[in-house]
Structure 1
Amino acid sequence: MRGALPSSLALLAMLGLNACAPMPHPGSAATSGETITVAVGPCFGFCPVYSTSVAPDGTVRFEGQRHTAVLGERARMAGMSTYRRLARDLAPFRPADGTEATIDCSAAVTDTSPYIITWTDPAGRKTSATVQSGCPGGAGQALVQRLRALPGQLGIADWAKQTTRPGASRG
């Protein structure tokens, strides 16, 4: 019986220490190893259309589709701190795991580019949020401001730069 008491106390102490350990925030990309993809869709004019993804190790992948300086795929290493910052900046707008949401705007400006943010976990489960780039107010406005700064933060601004080619159609 005497040996059981110290063992029980040791177990309780270990459990108590675990209770003090920081717990990952539910839905936090930085703690779950999710890849974060931001796709910028077409507008009524000659807006850049591209997607970029950032892996937890900081690898940035870019695919220019239309009206970008670079068409096709490129990759660069931005670093884990860039990934962590992006995950932190987008966390307030991330819907519940496995769901899709539209971020509220005070008014919908429909001829602007949509942004679609997708968090993909290691098992392939996707969570996504959509917002219009012309969002003049509400939660969407704060998100759009963060997304407009994204090319510079990821080092892809020169690739994503708006470029109109002869004969290219709008949209």
Structure 2
Amino acid sequence: MRGSVILMMPLLATLNACATTGDRGGDRPSDASVAAITVSVGPCFGFCPVYDVTVFEKGDVHFSGKRHTAIVGDRDRTVGAAVYGALARDLARFKPADGTTAQVECTAAISDTSSYTITWTAADGRRTVATHQHGCIGGPGKALDGVLAKLPGDLSIADWAKQTTRPGLSRG
């Protein structure tokens, strides 16, 4: 019996090396990876566009115009994974710790401008949120204003998000 066990040890080791234990994650993103980034643009004191835009990791874009936009309602388009990747890189330095909410630092801001809420949604549903007041004249918020200013063009939603004033709609 003892001799049989010793002879089977190399065989068991070989079989164990070939065995799999199910999905090891291979090319699948981890639960902590970001699956989508949403930028919500809030109202200002005037007629600023108010909308949400979500970009998914494969490059699909969902736009939802709320007020003072050329398109009021939902629209979808695809810009490609490379555009998503560029946006994720541009926003990375403003992202708070995973699962938290934080305001992007601004040394001084112009009042009565649009507010921004940037939400990174992980594949597991966990959200990380940064808030920002547009019009920052110093600090990291000034750099974020630059990223956000080019966002509509980068996502090919500039025509949808264009400021449009309609009769009968109030400011804000």
Q: What corresponds to 2:46 in structure 1? A: 45
Q: 1:88: how far off?
A: 0.5
Task: Give per-residue Cα distances to partners, 1:142-167, cap 9 Å, x unaligned.
Answer: 00110010000000000000000001
Do the aligned partners of 2:44 and 2:114 also contact (CA within 8 Å) in 1? yes
Give TM-score, length-normalised by structure 2: 0.81
Indicate yes or no: 2:49 matched with 1:63: no
- Higher gyration radius (CA): 2
Runs of 5+ consecutive residues of structure 1 not aligned to the other structure: 8-23
Q: 1:36: how far off?
A: 0.2
Runs of 5+ consecutive residues of structure 2 not aligned to the other structure: 1-9, 14-28
| Whole-angstrom CA distance in 2 between matches of 1:162 and 1:136 | 23
Q: 1:118: how far off?
A: 0.2
Q: 1:106: how far off?
A: 1.3
Q: Percent identity?
A: 60
Q: How does 1:125-136 map to 2 (within 5 A)?
A: 125-136=126-137
| Root-mean-square deviation (Å) | 1.9
AA partner of residue 145 (structure 2): V
| Whole-angstrom CA distance in 2 between matches of 1:52 and 1:107 | 26
Q: 1:33 to 1:101 in 2, by over 3 A?
A: closer
Secondary structure class of the residue paired with 2:86: helix
AA partner of residue 153 (structure 2): G
Give TM-score, length-normalised by structure 1: 0.81
Q: What corresponds to 2:116 in structure 1? A: 115
Greater mean deviation of Cα atoms: 76-85 or 108-117: 108-117
Q: How does 1:69-148 map to 2 (within 5 A)?
A: 69-148=70-149
Do the aligned partners of 2:35 and 2:121 also contact (CA within 8 Å) in 1? yes
Q: 1:139 to 1:170 in 2, by over 3 A?
A: same
Secondary structure class of the residue paired with 1:128: strand
| Whole-angstrom CA distance in 2 between matches of 1:122 and 1:154 | 21
Q: What corresponds to 2:16 in structure 1? A: none
Give aligned pairs, total.
147
Q: 1:40: how far off?
A: 0.3
| Whole-angstrom CA distance in 1 between matches of 2:109 and 2:81 | 35
Greater percentage in helix? 1
| Whole-angstrom CA distance in 2 between matches of 1:74 and 1:130 | 24
Please list every run of at least 4 consecutive aligned residues from structure 1 whose deviation after the TM superposition is greater than 4 angstroms.
none
Do the aligned partners of 2:34 and 2:120 also contact (CA within 8 Å) in 1? no
Task: Give per-residue Cα distances to partners, 1:72-129, cap 9 Å, x unaligned.
Answer: 0000000000000000000011000000010111113231001110000111110000
